[in-house]
Amino acid sequence: MRIARFSVDDEPRYGVVETDDPEGLTGTVSVLDSDPLYRPVQFTGEKLQLADVRLLAPVIPRSKVVCVGRNYAAHAEELGNDVPAEPLIFLKPNTSVIGPRDGIVYPEQTNNLHFEGELAIVIGRICRDLPKERVNEVIFGYTIANDVTARDLQKLDGQWARAKGYDTFCPLGPWITTELDVSDLRVSTQVNGEPKQDGRTSQFIFGIPEVLAYITSFTTLLPGDVVLTGTPAGVGPMLPGDEVAISVEGIGTLTNKVIVRD
């Protein structure tokens, strides 16, 4: 099931998407009566054309976006970093989240803004000290993320809060896919149609069970929290005017354009 968050007249609503278009520009959305994260799926009977709605970020995390750094060996190597001995965790604020086709703002404080395409996990239940064998019980579904990073600020600051945390630095979308085997999915990125990243989730250093068990060993995950699982090799700069399209097999394509704030 593909669950989208969308608007028609500026009021966020939820629906189940039916489409063959990876970006959801064509097809239909069957409207739900409420947020399915908190209530069972119940259709209103209304069906809309996707061309007539605006897809929003499929979830706004209640508290946080938790990210795994350097979870692909080739990505760690391309930046001159060692492979971590345990999951390398950092946070993005929920104010960094935007949706499909929203603009990624290029801050004036950076001269080296990078894309990082990733598979993202949407948490469906409160969890703490989660055993690895029970992770599927707390996963609501999966979406696509761009872990936008000001690479020069990341190096300058010595920690990643500013470099990863600007408003618009966490595009999510185009929807949540609730039933998916994520053991070996292709994760790819194009900038202006040119291939940049091409990896597979089977290349994770730390798999999803290990990641969620590790995160919940020190912090509670809440329904709607999002976990970014790491990016393949091939990250690089993006400039104002560039269009970045991130695809994850079995989910779709998340597209955003880089802009300069007026």
The pLDDT tens digits of the residues spanning 164-186 come to 999 999 999 999 999 999 999 99
Residue 261 has pLDDT above 90, yes or no: no
At 153, give phi and psi (nearest 5°).
Answer: -70, -30
Residue 194 CA to residue 137 CA, distance in Å, equals 38
Percentage of the chain surpassing pLDDT 70? 100
Residue 262 has pLDDT above 90, yes or no: no
Residue 191: its pLDDT value, please? 98
Residue 146: its pLDDT value, please? 98
Residue 46 has pLDDT above 80, yes or no: yes
- pTM here is 0.97
The CA-based diameter of the chain, rounded to the nearest angstrom, is 54
Closest CA to 195 of 166, 233, 228: 233
The pLDDT tens digits of the residues spanning 96-115 come to 999 999 999 999 999 999 99
The sheet carrying 113-115 orders its strands as 149-150, 113-115, 236-237
The pLDDT tens digits of the residues spanning 62-90 come to 899 999 999 999 999 999 989 999 999 99
Cα 41 to Cα 2, 4, 35, 46, 90: the distances in Å are 12, 12, 8, 14, 32
The pLDDT tens digits of the residues spanning 177-222 come to 999 999 999 999 999 999 999 999 999 999 999 999 999 999 999 9
DSSP assigned state of 231: -
Walk me through the domains of the chain, giving residue ranges and CATH numbers: 2-55 (2.30.30), 65-259 (3.90.850.10)
Decide: 140 and 124 in contact? Cβ < 8 Å: yes
The pLDDT tens digits of the residues spanning 112-143 come to 999 999 999 999 999 999 999 999 999 999 99
The amino acid present at 224, given as its one-letter code, is G
